Amino acid sequence: MERSDNLSAVAPDILSDARARLCMDLPYLAPALCALAFAPGDGVTVSAATDGSAYYAYAPYLATLYLRSSGAVCRLYLHSVLHCLFRHLRKRRGRDAALWDLACDAAVESVLDALALPSLAPVNTPVRKKFWGECRAQMKVLTAEGVYRMLLTEKRPDYELAQLSRAFALDDHGLWDAEQTRDREQSERQDKNWQKLAAEAQSAVGSFFAAEGTGGEAVTEQLAVAARDDVDYRRFLRRFAAPREVLKSDVDAFDYSYYSYGLRLYGNLPLIEPPETREETRIEELVIAVDTSMSTSGELVRRFLENTYAILRSTDTFTHRLNIHILQCDDKLRDDTIIRDAGELHRYMAALKLTGGSATDFRPVFEHIETLQRAGQLKNLRGLLYFTDGMGIYPTRRPPYETAFILLAEPPLALDMPRWAIRLMPELPERETRETLDESVWIEDILAEMPEL
């Protein structure tokens, strides 16, 4: 008991030493490194853990690790701080917890290896290098979100996922659930604080990593993702809706006092009746363009389209008669499918096949839309959704409608997008779990949301 108490007493000193060394090597991260208060790790029986506000370390493990390598303690602590700084705790909601934990650990460890600092004990294993190579073959920036999507798509066997978890895991993620169950206002406040720290670190990191070969690019790219405001994809889609008069009783604009007064005065004759129509915002014209170049994933495009369809159906945003053009384009326009009702859209999603595979040129889509507008086939177009990786040739002239480039993966920081373009990197909605990505489940969900036509 006495030995355990002694170890608990020395644990804060070990962590303070690690924090001081990291602050010297990474001064731009100093505010984030000092944001976690040290707390007794009585409830942590494996290694260390954080709930976003405090850091809990199992004293016997920490002392043993420190005796073996002080750099290993620095790596352990920075690993947990980066989880908070990249907002991994908050973003776990609605996801497969095991896959998300693995994706977060892999992303953080890739940053730590890229830094190559003397204060961080290196970890070099063939399993880690092989997995990172597979990730970078599919994404330009190795983020937790990107790794998670890849794991969802590939559906690797459980034994391989367990092997990867052992290769990347350092801290315990058991307290991440505590962040999700605490008071909502407190949770929001904590997340905003880490988002602010990420933005501050992002602004300071440029001058520190002026020299090449320091691994700063990995940190900068991850901080850019963490500092970015979350995109409410549902709310964004509504901006493409236009006011329309629909055949539905407008109870909000109806004064029931005159209605009930007439019934009392005449027995069965109301003085006024509810209006038979009301004004609602509905989408009746929309263009969805799909980048079919070799750099985009057809499976990911299909899932984003399915989620877009499910959102629009569940929010009753469509009119009964639609005029939606779904364009496929790489360096030239490959296909233009016209959707007239929700049934056609559902069937198109179920049998979606992408055609193309060359380089990306966005201009043919805008030229085709201009042709359709001149021909009177698009009269009230409010917006274009362009699913792409963002890399390609953009038009120089701003179109007379809103254009949103929905980025399917985190683009490089050097991406030069026109100022008039809306740049979105939304998360897939709450359905993004291993089970719900099964196509049969998707079809059943979509059919359940569709009204009879």
On whether both 212 and 140 belong to a single domain, the answer is yes
On whether both 240 and 223 belong to a single domain, the answer is no
Strands (E), 215-366: 242-246, 278-291, 318-329, 333-339
Instruction: Say how many domains are in the chain.
Output: 2
Structural domain contains residue 10: yes
C-alpha 198/C-alpha 207 separation (Å) is 16
Structural domain contains residue 422: yes
193, amino acid identity: N
Q: Which domain covers residue 182, as residue numbers?
A: 2-228
pLDDT tens-place string over residues 363-419: 999 999 999 999 999 988 888 989 887 888 999 899 998 898 888 766 665 677 888
Structure tokens at 431: 């359905």
- CATH code for the domain in which residue 343 is found: 3.40.50.410
pLDDT-flagged residues of the chain (< 70) = 1-7, 42-43, 45, 178-183, 206-218, 225-235, 238-283, 294-300, 311-321, 409-414, 426-453
Strands (E), 247-302: 278-291
Q: What is the CB neighbour count within 10 angstroms for residue 306?
A: 23
In this prediction, residue 293 carries a pLDDT of 79
Q: What is the CB neighbour count within 10 angstroms for residue 332?
A: 12
On whether both 240 and 183 belong to a single domain, the answer is no
C-alpha 15/C-alpha 77 separation (Å) is 8
* pTM, two decimal places: 0.66
On whether both 295 and 390 belong to a single domain, the answer is yes
Q: What is the CB neighbour count within 10 angstroms for residue 114?
A: 18
* Residue 28 main-chain phi, psi, to 5 deg: -70, -15
On whether both 343 and 387 belong to a single domain, the answer is yes
On whether both 171 and 203 belong to a single domain, the answer is yes
Structural domain contains residue 88: yes
DSSP β-ladder status, 54-57 and 48-50? antiparallel
Helix (H, G, I), strand (E, B), or coil: what is residue 399? Answer: coil
